[in-house]
Amino acid sequence: MLDLIFKNHLFSLNDILNDYYIDRSFLESLFGIENKFLSKYSEESNREYFNNSNVVSLFAKEN
C-alpha cells in the first residue's frame, strides 16, 4: 500500500515525516518495513519543525 502511495506521488515520505514530526526509523518499526524499502523514497532535506508563516512579532516597528 505504501509503495503505491509513494510511486504515484500521493504523499511524499518527507512530507509525512515532517508533517507528523516522526522519525523514519519509527515509521519503519511501526509498520514492520525494512530500511531499504523507505530508502528509495527518501529525499535529502532538512526537517522543518517550525516555519515563519505563523510567527507574530512581539514588538511593533517604530517608524
**How confident is the model over 1-24, as a mean pLDDT?**
88
Q: Give a yes or no: residue 55 inside a domain.
A: no
Q: What pLDDT does 32 receive?
A: 93
**Cβ–Cβ under 8 Å, residues 49 and 21:** yes
Q: Is 17 a domain residue?
A: yes
- Is position 59 within any domain? no
pTM: 0.58
- The full DSSP string for 10-29 is SS-HHHHHHHTT--HHHHHH
- Summarize pLDDT for 32-56 with one digit per residue, the tens: 999 888 888 887 555 555 666 667 7
Say if 37 falls within a structural domain: yes
Q: How many domains does the chain have?
A: 1
The three grid cell numbers given for residue 18, joined into one nine-digit string = 515532517
Average pLDDT of the segment spanning 27-36: 90
Is residue 48 assigned to a domain? no
**Mean pLDDT confidence for 12-37:** 90
The residue range of the domain holding 27 is: 2-43
pLDDT of residue 50: 61
Q: Would residue 62 count as lying in a domain?
A: no
How far is residue 35's CA from residue 12's CA, in Å, rounded to a whole number?
16
Q: Is 54 helix (H, G, I), strand (E, B) or coil?
A: helix
